[in-house]
Amino acid sequence: MSSPIDHSPATHDGSADVGVLLCHGFTGSPHSMRPWAERVVAEGWSARLPLLPGHGTHWRDANRTTWQDWYATVDAAFADLAGRCEHVFVFGLSMGGTLALRLAEEHADRVAGLVLVNPAVAMLRWDTKFLPILGRLVPSVPAIGNDIAKPGVLEGAYERTPVRAAASLRRFQMAVKADLGKITAPVRLYHSANDHVVEPVNSAMVLQGIASADVEEIVLHDSYHVATLDHDAERIFDGSIDFVRSLTS
């Protein structure tokens, strides 16, 4: 049974040794990351789980925002943690993984490690190149959210996909993909073998593009795109905790 949908952001000031920033995905909200954040807090670590602008309300609000707005929000949360914690890690789902990658590109000296779940750095469907034009004609298209194998679990994402916001996301992905070589932080990347939202080849693009020496890829066979709420959620949570401990002990 799915937990009640809670779109609200979360903040916890715990240890000054470890801080974790958790980033949700496009048209989603902190709800998709809350169980993961709760595990982080249970470790006694500091945590930030922001709500991205234009999210958690109505899809029309997302069309009034751009990737610069979303990145500014996570960048501010990262700066907050970096000002109080010795080691700052970034966990991201889908577009949240894209945001995490950008933070590692821009703050290579302060990102202690990345845990990515089905990160997206490219839209491979041929028609996505027309998103900027489509956005002037149609405000939304059918939703991409709630890709979860586990019965009865809901992501709480928008019921429609905002087209202008999606066009901005595509531009953001292109910028992040171009700078992947700047990333040197340790990376743990989880990707679902059956993902109906982000093409799994995105994970290969990330792994081939980054310059990190400490990299591990884990394939999830029992979960769809929103793996943080799916059958493999505990595997992701446990692995991320072990990852942080291995780099801070």
Which pLDDT belongs to residue 2?
58
Mean pLDDT, to the nearest integer, of 152-157? Answer: 94
Confidence of residue 182 (pLDDT cuts 50, 70, 90): very high
CA–CA separation, 27 vs 95, rounded Å?
A: 9
Q: Looking at the predicted structure, is the pLDDT value of residue 138 above 80?
A: no
196 as an active site residue: the answer is no
Mean pLDDT, to the nearest integer, of 217-243? Answer: 98
Q: Which fold does the domain 10-248 belong to in CATH?
A: Rossmann fold (3.40.50)
**Can you say how many angstroms the Cα of residue 224 is from the centroid of all Cα atoms in its chain?**
15
Question: One of 225, 230, 232, 240 is an active-site residue; which one?
Answer: 225
- What pTM did the predictor assign? 0.94
Average pLDDT, the chain: 94
Q: Looking at the predicted structure, is the pLDDT value of residue 51 above 50?
A: yes
Q: Looking at the predicted structure, is the pLDDT value of residue 248 above 50?
A: yes
Query: Is the pLDDT higher at 42 or at 128?
Result: 42
Query: Is the pLDDT higher at 185 or at 128?
Result: 185
Q: Looking at the predicted structure, is the pLDDT value of residue 90 above 90?
A: yes
Which pLDDT belongs to residue 4?
82
Mean pLDDT, to the nearest integer, of 29-50? Answer: 98
DSSP the chain: -PPPP----EEE--EEEEEEEEE--TT--GGGTHHHHHHHHHTTEEEEEPPPTT-SS-HHHHTT--HHHHHHHHHHHHHHHHTT-SEEEEEEETHHHHHHHHHHHH-TTTEEEEEEES------SGGGGGHHHHHHH-SEEE-------STT------SEEEHHHHHHHHHHHHHHHHTGGG--S-EEEEEESS-SSS-THHHHHHHHH---SSEEEEEESS--S-GGGSTTHHHHHHHHHHHHHHHH-
Mean pLDDT, to the nearest integer, of 185-193? Answer: 98
Q: Looking at the predicted structure, is the pLDDT value of residue 135 above 70?
A: no
Mean pLDDT, to the nearest integer, of 44-55? Answer: 99
Which pLDDT belongs to residue 152?
94
Question: One of 94, 140, 192, 240 is an active-site residue; which one?
Answer: 94
87 as an active site residue: the answer is no
Q: Looking at the predicted structure, is the pLDDT value of residue 19 above 90?
A: yes
Which pLDDT belongs to residue 77?
99
Please choose, from the candidates 187, 190, 188, the residue with its C-alpha nearest in 3D space to the C-alpha of residue 227.
190
Q: Looking at the predicted structure, is the pLDDT value of residue 126 above 50?
A: no
Which pLDDT belongs to residue 131?
58
Mean pLDDT, to the nearest integer, of 137-160? Answer: 88
Question: One of 195, 203, 223, 240 is an active-site residue; which one?
Answer: 195
In the chain, % of residues over pLDDT 90 = 86
195 as an active site residue: the answer is yes
In the chain, % of residues over pLDDT 70 = 93
